């Protein structure tokens, strides 16, 4: 105990190096939860915050590594998890409930909601009076609040039975991120709303009266874009009545309300496509372009990809891409297997020995853009960050003629060697994602897709800009040796340079360097594609 002279009390001793321990508190500060997880099992222990030396109580245990978050509300524990059900893997998270008073040996967890394949709960948040659900129906995100406490007795509700209130959202939402929301007793909850055609909006929703308020957003961009496109100027956005907007039973925002969000869909279009991959699996593809320069066989294009760790592909509006959109470029996002948003199976189908699925999905999306005249055949560029750099580089190795240029940011290019390098801070998640070269079957799978080991000889590669830093988790030697081998093995053309840019700073933590690097990438793409 802090400030106490008594001997420390050992609550948990975990000798296994493969087990990770995470400690957090419930939002009402009634309990402390201790999560232990590994590739073989996941456990959650509960500590009474008022008497922390009383020991830990095991409240949840499951096989395999699972995401488990426990909250407490008026005598009930709520568990948000993606653990397997009855030995069967599940694709998405679900919410369980159990009384705190239940004993560990007889504890029963009941589903709060009935299974609904069309309604996927992406995240949850709690306050004293409401449960907030971030949900997805197909391409559409929804945000709704449910009053607490839930009706006593029966569990297994349909959402409509709980009188949900849907909070207003703009069109084309690609991600909803909860804010800190530390104050459990406040009815005001904060979320960040992201969209490919709208600068991120940080929004406060008052769950008690239905009012919402945008507290932070890059609003000057809207008026400047109206001027650029010659649109008639409307009321100054900074004077728009953002406060006191009420919501009803639907989150469909009327078109006249889009300006309240500084939504740019008046100038830029957002389309969704399902692309058939090599094995018939449909891969989601998001396409953004300027209404003024609607695509039609002449447009350059930039295809983003990541496909790792089950993470959502970042499709947020990025100000540095505005310059490309205004020049007629098409910006596309390929949600390939291995990434997030499509469930756990989607992640597993693109990891470890299935990593080639991610690469082939990305190539299928590239061909879809050119074959359907969305992007001109010789004007497509690729873009990948970290593990996304591996994806794009591997795709270039397979089909170098499909791309005219590429930008690889701090890429992971030499997995066969890097995954064996003992001084790097790699974790079980990295080996689970890409494979462990010490395993012969994993080694052969890695060797099949490794960008460094599959560079084609005597082939014409696209122009490539690689940026890396001495402060990245993957060493700069990866980028340097890959560039050296590409230059050595491929046919050199003066209009297709392979450039390496190294910095000693962490670019992501330096706003000036980030802007400088983004400007360099944009200039490189324009020079290579449009020259």
Q: Give strand pairing partners of 85.
A: 88
Q: Is cis: bond before 47, omega within 30 of 0?
A: no
Distance, CA of 506 to CA of 513 (rounded, Å) = 8
Bridge-based pairing state of the strands 198-206 and 188-195: antiparallel
What pLDDT, on a 0 to 100 scale, did the predictor assign at position 353? 94
Phi, psi angle pair for 223, to nearest 5°: -65, -40
Cβ of 265: how many Cβ atoms within 10 Å?
19
H/E run at residue 406: strand 405-409
Positive or negative torsion for Cα 326, 330, 335, 337: negative
Positive or negative torsion for Cα 489, 494, 496, 499: positive
What pLDDT, on a 0 to 100 scale, did the predictor assign at position 427? 64
Rounded to an integer, what is the distance from CA 432 to the centroid of its chain?
18
Could you give the angle at the alpha carbon of 316 between the alpha carbons of 212 and 222, nearest 5°?
65
From residue 224, alpha-carbon distances to 202, 215, 264, 503, 524 in Å are: 21, 20, 11, 33, 25
What pTM, to 2 d.p., does this model score? 0.88
With tokens 């390496």, the residue in question is 500
What pLDDT, on a 0 to 100 scale, did the predictor assign at position 531? 73
From residue 25, alpha-carbon distances to 32, 36, 61, 191, 234 in Å are: 4, 15, 18, 21, 47
Distance, CA of 191 to CA of 189 (rounded, Å) = 7
What pLDDT, on a 0 to 100 scale, did the predictor assign at position 239? 33
Residue among 39, 77, 74, 75 at smallest CA distance from 58: 77
Distance, CA of 48 to CA of 70 (rounded, Å) = 13
Distance, CA of 307 to CA of 339 (rounded, Å) = 4
What pLDDT, on a 0 to 100 scale, did the predictor assign at position 91? 86
Rounded to an integer, what is the distance from CA 439 to the centroid of its chain?
29
From residue 10, alpha-carbon distances to 7, 59, 161 in Å are: 10, 19, 46
With tokens 């948990």, the residue in question is 12
Rounded to an integer, what is the distance from CA 222 to the centroid of its chain?
26
What pLDDT, on a 0 to 100 scale, did the predictor assign at position 233? 37
Q: Which of the 8 DSSP states describes residue 433? A: H
Count Cβ atoms within 10 A of the Cβ of residue 384 and give its class: 0-12 exposed, 13-18 middle, 19 or more buried.
Answer: buried
DSSP 191-220: EEEEETTEEEEEEEEETTTTEEEEEE---H
**411 close to 479: Cβ distance less than 8 angstroms:** yes
Dihedral angle over CA of 471, 474, 480, 486, nearest 10: -150
Given a cut of 50, the residues of the chain with pLDDT beneath it are 232-256
């Amino acid at each position: 105990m802090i400030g106490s002279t008594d001997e420390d009390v050992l609550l948990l001793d975990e000798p296994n190096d493969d087990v990770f321990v995470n400690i957090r508190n419930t939002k009402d500060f009634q309990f402390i939860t201790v999560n232990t997880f590994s590739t073989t099992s996941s456990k959650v222990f509960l500590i009474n915050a008022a008497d922390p030396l009383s020991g830990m109580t095991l409240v949840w245990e499951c096989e395999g590594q699972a995401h488990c978050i426990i909250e407490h509300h008026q005598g009930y524990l709520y568990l948000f998890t993606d653990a397997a059900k009855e030995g069967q893997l599940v694709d998405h998270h679900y919410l369980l409930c159990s009384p705190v008073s239940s004993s560990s040996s007889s504890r029963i967890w009941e589903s709060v909601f009935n299974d609904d394949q069309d309604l996927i709960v992406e995240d949850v948040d709690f306050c004293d009076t409401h449960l907030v659900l971030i949900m997805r129906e197909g391409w559409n995100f929804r945000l709704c609040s449910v009053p607490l406490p839930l009706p006593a007795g029966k569990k297994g509700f349909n959402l409509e039975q709980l009188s949900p209130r849907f909070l207003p959202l703009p069109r084309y939402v690609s991600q909803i991120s909860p804010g800190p929301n530390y104050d459990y007793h406040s009815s005001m909850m904060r979320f960040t709303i992201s969209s490919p055609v709208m600068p991120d909006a940080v929004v406060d929703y008052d769950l008690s009266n239905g009012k919402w308020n945008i507290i932070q957003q890059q609003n000057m961009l809207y008026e400047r874009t109206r001027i650029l496109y010659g649109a008639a100027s409307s009321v100054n956005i900074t004077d728009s009545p953002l406060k006191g907007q009420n919501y009803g039973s639907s989150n469909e925002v009327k078109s006249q309300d889009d300006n309240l969000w500084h939504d740019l869909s008046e100038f830029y279009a957002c389309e969704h496509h399902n692309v058939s991959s090599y094995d018939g699996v449909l891969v989601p593809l998001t396409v953004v372009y300027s209404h003024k320069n609607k695509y039609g066989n002449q447009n350059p294009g930039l295809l983003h990809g990541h496909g790792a760790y089950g993470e959502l592909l970042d499709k947020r509006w990025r100000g540095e891409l505005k310059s490309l959109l205004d020049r007629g470029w098409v910006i596309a996002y390929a949600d390939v297997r291995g990434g997030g948003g499509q469930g756990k199976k989607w992640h597993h189908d693109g990891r470890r020995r299935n990593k080639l699925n991610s690469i082939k999905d990305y190539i299928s999306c590239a061909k879809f853009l050119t074959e359907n005249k969305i992007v001109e055949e010789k004007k497509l560029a690729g873009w990948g960050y970290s593990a996304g750099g591996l994806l794009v580089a591997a795709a270039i190795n397979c089909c170098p003629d499909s791309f005219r240029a590429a930008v690889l940011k701090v890429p992971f290019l030499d997995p066969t060697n890097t995954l064996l390098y003992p001084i790097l801070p790699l974790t079980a998640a990295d080996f689970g994602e890409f494979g462990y070269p010490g395993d012969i079957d994993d080694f052969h799978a890695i060797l099949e897709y490794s960008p460094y080991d599959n560079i084609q000889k005597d082939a014409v590669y696209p122009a490539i800009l690689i940026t890396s830093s001495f402060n990245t988790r993957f060493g700069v030697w990866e980028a340097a040796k890959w560039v050296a081998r590409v230059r050595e093995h491929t046919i050199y053309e003066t209009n297709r340079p392979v450039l390496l840019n190294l910095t000693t700073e962490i670019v992501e933590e330096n706003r000036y360097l980030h802007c400088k690097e983004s400007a360099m990438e944009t200039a490189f793409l324009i020079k290579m594609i449009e020259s």
